[in-house]
Amino acid sequence: MNKVIDILKLSNYDKFKCIADKCKFTCCEGWDIGIDGDTYNKWKEKNNKSDYIFNNIKIKNCKSKTEYFINKETHEACPFLDNQGLCKIVKSHGEEYLSLTCHMFPRIENIFEDKKELLLSCACPEVVELISSINGKINIISENNTNLKNNLLELKIRETLVNIVQQKNFSLEDKLIISFQMLLTILENESFREDNLLEELEKYKNGDYIRELIDMYHDVDLNINDSVEEINYLFLDIIQNYKEVSVLDILLKDISDFAENIKIRTLSAKWHDYKRLFEEYNKLIENCIVSKILSCCISSDIKEMIISFQLIILEYLLVRYAVFLKYCMNKNKEIDTQDIKDYIVAFSRIIGNNTEAVREFIIDGFGEAVLEIGYLCFITLF
């Protein structure tokens, strides 16, 4: 008998449509574009069709693995892009000839034992537009209403993360810290038996329990100048190599010049007014965060799951800070929704699509791949 496979789709999944040459954030620039082995072999078999393709491929041999990439520097545009912003491979051979990465983006498929989830990446501006048009909470919906229960523990943990982030009555920052704390507790008790783990997850369904944890973190006094100074350093360090990427320079150049030269105290004085205004955009940001949790927090290795979640927090903090710099530069002291959407795309690419590089950056700077909760509070809860 065939096993029933449930297909689940992110809200608005079917509405996605690439706007190709009308897109100001072409997906063909600003990262290393990998080519999967099957596509490489297919292109090899059809060599006569693919000469111009092989002239633009680089091969990396690392350890026992051979990896294939489109031959470009991270910041450069794809050599297959024509001057109208259209892909030469698609024009010559059709979409099905593309490598998996190019064919799929921004779609994401997560396959589990009895289900397939179809999600979308916030690294595409059209996806962020679709998410911003959702009125309520973003969701993942079963296509055939089978809605099988999450039997895998990692999916139960992910479900708890989503439930915490979608709780009412708490600030988004608090919910991110509490979620991170929950993952750390699970990591520290790796020997948890399944029933202990489920008991631990159950606690986070209780709003009073979450409130107690939040109060504990708010007992610590934070100096706003120190926190702003730290996030300013972090921001400048992380975007350092992305200011030259042409699809990102327009977003990063002005604010990074501003951040390099402004006095921290001048920035700190504007922070509280800004934060109040920024909270008005929580619905969009929360829905983007949930879509990232659904896509990325799926590892059965809890340490890997924490690292994925930590990157989601970092993306959030950098979006919040980049929009803050824009706000400080703006004479009217207003927030433009388009800035929020643009920085969500930018940091989804800088962090979410370069996870290995960011992981190394964190290890180099902090000695560990997982940040300390005290440090995260310091850069989040001020």
Residues engaged in binding ligand SF4 (CB under 6 A): 18-20, 23, 25-27, 105-106, 124-126
CA-nearest of 197, 139, 204, 154 to 175 is: 204
**Residue 90 C-beta: closest distance to ligand SF4, Å:** 11
Token pair in block for residue 254? 């002005």
**Residue 168 C-beta: closest distance to ligand SF4, Å:** 32
Counting DSSP H helices and E strands in the chain, the numbers are 17, 7
**Residue 252 C-beta: closest distance to ligand SF4, Å:** 17
Phi, then psi, of 7 in degrees rounded to 5: -110, 125
CA-nearest of 86, 80, 74, 89 to 42 is: 89
Helix axis angle, 302-329 to 282-296, nearest 10°: 150
Comparing CB distances to ligand SF4, the nearer of 105 and 343 is 105
Distance CA 307, CA 359 (A): 8
**Residue 124 C-beta: closest distance to ligand SF4, Å:** 3
Distance CA 287, CA 332 (A): 28
The CB-side HSE value for 346 (13 A sphere, CA atoms) comes to 30
The CB-side HSE value for 286 (13 A sphere, CA atoms) comes to 26
Comparing CB distances to ligand SF4, the nearer of 15 and 218 is 15
Comparing CB distances to ligand SF4, the nearer of 122 and 201 is 122
Comparing CB distances to ligand SF4, the nearer of 124 and 164 is 124
Phi, then psi, of 57 in degrees rounded to 5: -120, 140
Comparing CB distances to ligand SF4, the nearer of 25 and 43 is 25
* Strand segments (E) across the chain: 6-10, 34-35, 57-62, 65-70, 107-111, 115-120, 140-142
CB 125 within 8 A of CB 347: no
**Residue 263 C-beta: closest distance to ligand SF4, Å:** 37
CA distances from residue 181 to 83, 140, 315, 367 in whole angstroms, order as listed: 48, 25, 18, 19
Comparing CB distances to ligand SF4, the nearer of 19 and 141 is 19
- Per the rule left: phi > 0, alpha: psi between -120 and 50, beta: everything else, 341 is alpha
Comparing CB distances to ligand SF4, the nearer of 95 and 237 is 95
**Residue 26 C-beta: closest distance to ligand SF4, Å:** 5
**Residue 297 C-beta: closest distance to ligand SF4, Å:** 23
**Residue 19 C-beta: closest distance to ligand SF4, Å:** 5
Distance CA 72, CA 58 (A): 8
**Residue 121 C-beta: closest distance to ligand SF4, Å:** 9
Comparing CB distances to ligand SF4, the nearer of 122 and 155 is 122
Comparing CB distances to ligand SF4, the nearer of 177 and 245 is 245
Comparing CB distances to ligand SF4, the nearer of 20 and 198 is 20
**Residue 27 C-beta: closest distance to ligand SF4, Å:** 3
The owner of tokens 């320079």 is 249
Distance CA 113, CA 124 (A): 28
